[in-house]
Amino acid sequence: AQKVTQAQTEISVVEKEDVTLDCVYETRDTTYYLFWYKQPPSGELVFLIRRNSFDEQNEISGRYSWNFQKSTSSFNFTITASQVVDSAVYFCALSEAGSTLGRLYFGRGTQLTVWP
Amino acid sequence: KAGVTQTPRYLIKTRGQQVTLSCSPISGHRSVSWYQQTPGQGLQFLFEYFSETQRNKGNFPGRFSGRQFSNSRSEMNVSTLELGDSALYLCASSFTGSGEQFFGPGTRLTVL
């Protein structure tokens, strides 16, 4: 069964702190894709990153970095030197290449609040 | 390049009515997916269309239906609205379904 778990419901940090959002997934497919989205109060889901299951190389984009570890089925997201504008709900999602291609399985999201 | 657009942005309906929501994908994208977001259930998959064919369907009652047109625009319809259908309805487009999925701003439906 496909499942995405974001154990952290809410995280609060002070500006400039580093913060890591955890994501653990379950799938039986060998080919799958992992995503992170940001949902600000406006409601629109903003695409941040997509990784495929064959590419475990970590990625850095500015203050954002992602750590993909197949051995622990985790795809964690770190924000370095957080800013108030990072406050949002962050969703981790899984998509499989098999019969459910095109369908995203979402975690319940982590509400990140960054205080000035 | 224009993003995903959804219309209308807000809707207020009463129980028993029906509603049609529209989604225009990014130009060139052939896959459109629909999701329902509620505080209690989170983001739930409704269905996905690719080249006018429904390729996947989530666990929603038959009151929820959709279609996709030859220009990849998609509509979803909810008949006999219930209070529990109040939600943010999001659509996402991607080139094939496995690539990056980009979301529209959503339609916030309130059922009274």
Residue among B45, B101, B105 minimizing CB distance to A43: B105
CA of B78 vs chain A CAs: smallest distance (Å)? 20
CA–CA distance, B30 with B10 (Å, rounded to integer) = 25
Using a CB-CB cut-off of 8 Å, the residues of chain A touching B97 are 95, 101-102
What pLDDT digit, counting tens, does each position of B55-106 carry?
999 999 999 999 999 999 999 999 999 999 999 999 999 988 777 899 999 9
Q: Does B88 touch chain A (CB under 8 A)?
A: yes
Task: Give CA–CA dist A64/A80, Å, rounded.
Answer: 6
Q: What is the pLDDT of residues B10-48, one digit of tens each?
A: 999 999 999 999 999 999 999 999 999 999 999 999 999
For the record, the structure tokens of A60 come out as: 């850095």
Which residues of B are less than 8 Å from A105 in CB distance? 45
Judged by a CB distance cut-off of 8 A, whether residue B15 touches chain A is: no
If you search the block for the tokens 């406050």, which residue do you land on? A87
Q: Is the pLDDT of residue A99 over 80?
A: no
* Chain A environment of B58 (Cβ under 8 Å): 103
Q: What does the pLDDT read at residue B1?
A: 65
CA–CA distance, A52 with B98 (Å, rounded to integer): 9
Please give the Cα distance from B82 to A10 (Å, whole number).
31
Report yes or no: B43 and B109 within 8 Å, Cβ to Cβ.
no
Nearest C-alpha in B relative to A42 = B105
Instruction: For chain A, say whether B112 makes contact (Cβ under 8 Å).
Output: no
The alpha-carbon gap from A78 to the nearest alpha carbon of chain B, in Å, equals 20
Give the Cα separation of B32 and B91 in Å (integer): 7
Q: Which of A15-19, A27-31, A71-75, A76-80 has the lowest mean pLDDT?
A: A27-31
Query: What local confidence, expressed as pLDDT, does residue B9 receive?
Result: 96
